[in-house]
C-alpha cells in the first residue's frame, strides 16, 4: 500500500513538472519566435541615456550694464557609441572629417604621428611611455607604429591621408572614451550648412548628432581683456580632480574674472533622459532636472573710460618710441589704473600690449598663440597686478609723511640741497640730486612741500637717513606697498618693500647700510611695487588718509534675480585668494596728509613743478607727481628708465586717482600725457582743452647717481 502511494505521488510530481515545462517552452516560443521581432523592436527603442542640459554661463558687465562677456547659441557635433562595425565607423569618421575640412574646420588632433614624412610629434620619455602603453616595440619607427594603429582599428583603405584622418578620431575615442550614453565632442560652433548636411545624409553619419549649446562670446574686442580673462577646455588633470562637477569637454575660466568666479559663473547643469534605438536614433526625451544659469558679474569698470585709457596708453608708448617727445626711448609696454579715491573702485585698468579673449573661443590660432607665447613684452600678463617696478620719485610722499609723523622733519623746516649728499664720506659722489646732474647745482633751501614740487632727491635722502629704514617701511606698508591689495583678480603679486626684513632675505647675513636707506627714501633699491598698489596709495592720500581697499566687483546677480551681499563677495574672494585682513593701528595726522597733497598740487599746478608743462592750462586743478626710476640696462647696454605719473583730481574735492607706468618710458612727464587724456574723459571736458606742450621742453629726470 505504501509503495502504491509513493508511486502515485511520484507520478503526479512528474506530470506537474512536464506541464510546467510545456507551459514555459510554449511561452518562450511565443516570446522568441511568434512575437520576437516585435519585442526586439520595443527593446531597441527602450535604450536610454542620461544627457546633461548645459547651464547658461553668467555674463560679465561694466558698471553701466554694457555686456562685455556673454553667451551665444551654437551647434556642436557629438559622437555616441553605436552598434556598428569598424568598417561603418571608419567610413562615418572619414565622411565627417571631409565635410568639416570642406568648411575649413580642423578637428582636434592628438595622435602623435605625422605623415609625409612619418615622424613622431613626441620624444624622449614621453615617447617611450606612449609605446609601452600601446604595446609598441621600443625600437619601432613612426611608420611601423602608424600601421599598427591602422590594423588595430581595422582601417581598410590604403590611402595614407585618409588613414591619418580616421586615426585622428579613432585615437581620440581611445584616449577620451565614449559610450551609448556619453558622447565626445568633435567640433563646436559649426555652421548651418554642416548641420543640414549631417541631417540630410544621416545614414552617412551613424552615431553622430548635432547638439545645441551656448558658447562664450566677448563683445568688446580687447577692452579690459586682462580683467575679464578668457575661457578654454578644462585641463585633463583638473577634470580628474573634479569629475563630479565637470565633463572632459567642459569649458572653464582660465584667467581673470572668468577664472576667479568660475564657480559662480558656470551655474549648474541639468539632466534629461533620452530614449533612443541602438543605431543612435532618438525616440523621445524628458527633463529630469532643470539647469540653473550662472550668476552675472557686474564690474566697476566704465567702458568709455576704459577705452580712452587703453588707447591713450598705447598712443603714448608709440609716441615715446617714435621720438614724439624731446627724447626717444625704446618703450616696451605699460600699465594704467583709474580709481575712485573714496571707494577704491577701479574705473579703468589697462595693460599693454594686450590680446582679445575671443581668440581662445573654439581654440586659439597658431598665429595668435605664437604672439602670446613669444612676444617679450608679455601680452598675456596683467601688468597692473602682476608686474612690479621700482616707484622712483612717486614714493617720496611716503617719505615725506613718515618723516613728518616720526618727527624727523617738520612742515616749516628747510633743508639745503647742495647737489651732492656728502654726509657719508665713503659714498659722497654716489648720491646726487637729479637737479645737480642736469644743471650742476642743487635746489638750495626747500621745505617739504617744495621738495615734493621739485622732486628734490637731497631733501628725501636726509629725511630718510634721519628716521631710518624701519620707520620708513612701516608707513609704506601702512599704505599697502609691498603687499597684495586683495583686488578680485587672480595671480596678484606682492612686490617687495625695502626694509630690514627684505634686506635680510635678499642679502642674508648683511645689515642695512646708510646707502640702502638713501636709495629706499627716493623709491629705488629693493622697492618694487605693482601699479594697483600705487593706485591704492595715491587714493589713500587723496581722500585724507583713509586706506582704501581696491575692488573691481560692483555686484553679483544670481539667476533668481537676487544680489549677493558685499560680505559674501568679500568672503568668497578672500578665501580664493588667501587674503587675510589686518589692521596696523597707524593713524596719520590730517596735517601730514595735507602737506603731501599740497606738494603734489604744486608739482602739477604751479610753475617749476615736474608736471606743470602738461597741466598748466588744464581746466581742473590737479595734484600729481612724476617719477623716473632706474631699471637696469637693456640688451644693448643702455640704461632703462621706467616712467611713472600719479595724480588725483579735483584737488579741492578729490574724486579720482590716476596711475600711469611706462616701461623704459624715460621721463615721468611723458606718462602724464596719458593721465591728462583720462581726466579729460572722466570730467567730460571739451577736446579744445588739450595742451600742446613744446617738444623742446626740458624733461625732468630724477636720478640717484
**To the nearest whole percent, how much of the chain has pLDDT over 70?**
90
- For 252-299, how does the pLDDT look when each residue is reduced to its tens digit (9 = 90+)? 999 999 999 999 999 887 777 767 665 555 566 677 778 788 999 999
Rounded percentage of the chain residues whose pLDDT exceeds 90: 64
Phi–psi pair at 339, nearest 5 degrees = -130, 140
What local confidence, expressed as pLDDT, does residue 702 receive? Answer: 41
> Cβ distance 595 to 398 under 8 Å?
no
- CA distance linking residue 69 with residue 75, whole number of Å: 19
Task: Give the pLDDT band (50/70/90) at residue 608.
Answer: confident
Mean pLDDT of the chain: 88
Q: What is the pLDDT of residue 220?
A: 93
More confident residue, 503 or 246: 503
Task: Kindly state the average pLDDT of the residues 578-585.
Answer: 83
Span between the terminal Cα atoms of the chain, in Å: 132
C-alpha cell at 697: 621742453
pLDDT value at residue 4: 62
When pLDDT is cut at 50, 70 and 90, the band that residue 49 belongs to is low
Instruction: Mean pLDDT check: name the lowest of 170-184, 217-231, 548-562.
Output: 170-184
pLDDT attached to residue 697? 36
Report yes or no: 320 and 665 within 8 Å, Cβ to Cβ. yes
pLDDT of residue 37: 60
pLDDT tens digits for range 644-654: 999 999 999 99
pLDDT in tens, 72-81: 888 889 888 8
Please report which residue ranges of 190-261 form alpha helices under DSSP H: 192-200, 225-228, 236-241, 256-260
The per-residue pLDDT for 48 is: 66
- Look up the pTM and report it: 0.79
| Calpha distance 378→353 (Å, rounded) | 7
Q: How far is residue 607's CA from residue 615's CA, in Å, rounded to a whole number? A: 10
DSSP secondary structure, 58-96, as one string: PPEE-TTS-EEEEEEEEEEEEE---S--HHHHHHHHHHH
Give the per-residue pLDDT at 693: 37
Query: HEC profile for 542-599?
Result: HCCCCCCCCECEEEEECCCCCECCHHHHHHHHHHHHCCCCCCCCCCCCHHHHHHHHHH
Average of pLDDT values for 365-387? 95
Give the HSE-up count for residue 603: Cα atoms under 13 Å, Cβ half-sphere: 33
Cα 79 from chain centroid?
Answer: 32
Q: What is the pLDDT of residues 455-490, one digit of tens each?
A: 999 999 999 999 999 999 999 999 999 999 999 999
Residue where the block lists cell 586682462: 226
Q: How many helices (H) and strands (E) does the chain have?
A: 26, 20
CA-CA distance, 535 to 517, in Å (whole number)?
Answer: 24
The larger pLDDT score, comparing residue 9 to residue 79, is at: 79
Bridge-based pairing of strands 60-61 and 296-299 is parallel
CA distances to 143, 178, 404, 537, 675 from 604, in Å = 71, 67, 22, 18, 12
Amino acid at each position: 500500500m505504501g509503495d502504491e502511494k509513493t508511486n502515485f505521488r511520484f507520478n503526479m510530481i512528474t506530470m506537474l513538472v512536464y506541464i510546467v515545462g510545456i507551459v514555459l517552452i510554449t511561452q518562450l516560443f511565443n516570446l522568441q519566435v511568434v512575437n520576437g521581432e516585435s519585442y526586439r523592436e520595443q527593446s531597441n527603442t527602450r535604450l536610454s541615456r542620461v544627457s546633461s542640459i548645459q547651464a547658461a554661463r553668467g555674463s560679465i558687465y561694466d558698471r553701466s550694464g554694457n555686456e562685455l562677456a556673454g553667451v551665444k547659441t551654437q551647434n556642436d557635433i557629438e559622437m555616441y557609441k553605436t552598434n556598428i562595425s569598424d568598417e561603418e565607423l571608419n567610413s562615418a569618421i572619414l565622411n565627417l572629417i571631409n565635410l568639416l575640412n570642406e568648411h575649413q574646420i580642423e578637428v582636434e588632433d592628438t595622435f602623435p604621428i605625422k605623415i609625409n614624412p612619418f615622424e613622431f610629434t613626441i620624444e624622449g620619455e614621453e615617447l617611450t611611455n606612449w609605446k609601452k602603453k600601446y604595446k609598441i616595440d621600443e625600437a619601432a619607427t613612426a611608420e611601423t607604429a602608424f600601421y599598427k594603429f591602422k590594423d588595430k582599428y581595422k582601417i581598410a583603405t590604403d590611402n595614407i591621408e585618409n588613414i591619418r584622418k580616421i586615426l585622428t578620431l579613432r585615437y581620440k575615442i581611445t584616449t577620451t572614451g565614449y559610450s551609448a550614453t556619453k558622447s565626445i565632442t568633435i567640433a563646436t560652433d559649426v555652421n548651418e550648412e554642416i548641420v543640414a548636411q549631417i541631417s540630410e545624409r544621416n545614414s552617412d553619419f551613424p552615431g553622430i548628432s548635432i547638439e545645441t549649446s551656448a558658447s562664450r562670446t566677448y563683445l568688446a574686442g580687447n577692452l579690459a581683456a586682462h580683467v575679464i580673462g578668457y575661457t578654454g577646455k578644462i585641463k585633463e588633470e583638473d577634470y580628474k580632480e573634479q569629475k563630479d562637477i565637470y565633463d572632459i569637454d567642459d569649458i572653464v575660466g582660465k584667467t581673470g574674472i572668468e577664472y576667479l568666479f568660475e564657480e559662480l559663473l558656470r551655474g549648474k547643469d541639468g539632466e534629461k533622459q533620452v530614449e533612443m534605438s541602438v543605431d543612435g536614433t532618438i525616440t523621445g526625451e524628458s527633463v529630469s532636472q532643470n539647469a540653473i544659469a550662472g550668476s552675472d558679474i557686474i564690474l566697476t569698470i566704465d567702458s568709455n573710460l576704459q577705452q580712452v585709457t587703453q588707447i591713450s596708453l598705447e598712443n603714448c608708448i608709440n609716441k615715446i618710441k617714435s621720438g614724439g617727445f624731446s627724447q626717444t626711448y625704446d618703450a616696451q609696454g605699460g600699465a594704467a589704473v583709474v580709481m575712485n579715491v573714496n571707494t577704491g573702485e577701479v574705473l579703468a585698468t589697462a595693460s599693454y600690449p594686450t590680446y582679445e579673449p575671443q581668440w581662445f573661443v573654439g581654440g586659439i590660432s597658431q598665429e595668435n598663440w605664437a604672439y602670446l607665447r613669444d612676444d617679450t613684452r608679455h601680452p598675456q600678463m596683467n601688468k597692473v597686478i602682476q608686474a612690479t617696478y621700482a616707484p622712483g620719485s612717486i614714493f617720496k610722499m611716503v617719505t615725506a609723511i613718515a618723516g613728518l609723523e616720526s618727527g624727523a622733519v617738520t612742515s616749516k623746516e628747510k633743508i639745503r640741497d647742495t647737489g651732492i649728499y656728502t654726509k657719508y664720506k665713503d659714498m659722497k659722489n654716489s648720491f646726487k640730486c637729479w637737479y645737480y646732474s642736469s644743471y650742476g647745482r642743487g635746489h638750495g633751501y626747500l621745505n617739504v612741500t617744495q621738495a615734493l614740487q621739485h622732486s628734490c632727491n637731497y631733501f628725501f635722502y636726509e629725511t630718510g637717513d634721519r628716521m631710518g629704514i624701519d620707520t620708513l617701511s612701516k608707513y609704506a606698508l601702512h599704505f599697502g606697498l609691498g603687499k597684495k591689495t586683495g583686488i578680485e583678480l587672480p595671480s596678484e603679486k606682492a612686490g617687495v618693500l625695502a626694509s630690514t626684513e627684505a634686506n635680510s632675505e635678499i642679502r642674508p647675513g648683511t645689515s642695512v647700510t646708510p646707502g640702502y636707506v638713501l636709495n629706499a627714501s627716493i623709491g629705488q633699491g629693493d622697492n618694487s611695487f605693482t601699479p594697483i598698489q600705487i593706485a591704492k596709495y595715491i587714493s589713500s592720500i587723496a581722500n585724507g588718509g583713509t586706506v582704501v581697499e581696491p575692488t573691481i566687483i560692483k555686484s553679483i546677480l544670481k539667476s533668481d534675480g537676487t544680489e549677493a551681499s558685499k560680505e559674501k563677495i568679500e568672503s568668497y574672494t578672500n578665501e580664493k585668494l588667501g587674503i587675510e585682513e589686518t589692521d596696523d593701528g597707524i593713524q596719520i595726522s590730517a596735517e601730514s596728509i595735507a602737506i603731501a597733497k599740497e606738494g603734489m598740487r604744486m608739482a602739477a599746478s604751479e610753475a617749476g613743478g615736474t608736471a606743470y608743462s602738461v597741466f598748466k592750462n588744464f581746466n581742473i586743478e590737479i595734484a600729481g607727481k612724476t617719477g623716473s626710476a632706474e631699471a637696469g640696462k637693456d640688451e644693448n647696454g643702455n640704461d632703462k628708465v621706467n616712467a611713472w605719473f600719479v595724480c588725483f583730481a579735483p584737488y579741492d574735492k578729490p574724486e579720482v586717482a590716476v596711475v600711469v607706468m611706462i616701461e623704459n618710458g624715460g621721463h615721468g612727464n611723458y606718462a602724464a600725457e596719458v593721465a591728462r587724456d583720462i581726466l579729460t574723459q572722466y570730467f567730460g571736458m571739451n577736446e579744445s582743452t588739450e595742451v600742446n606742450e613744446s617738444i623742446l621742453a626740458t624733461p625732468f629726470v630724477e636720478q640717484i647717481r
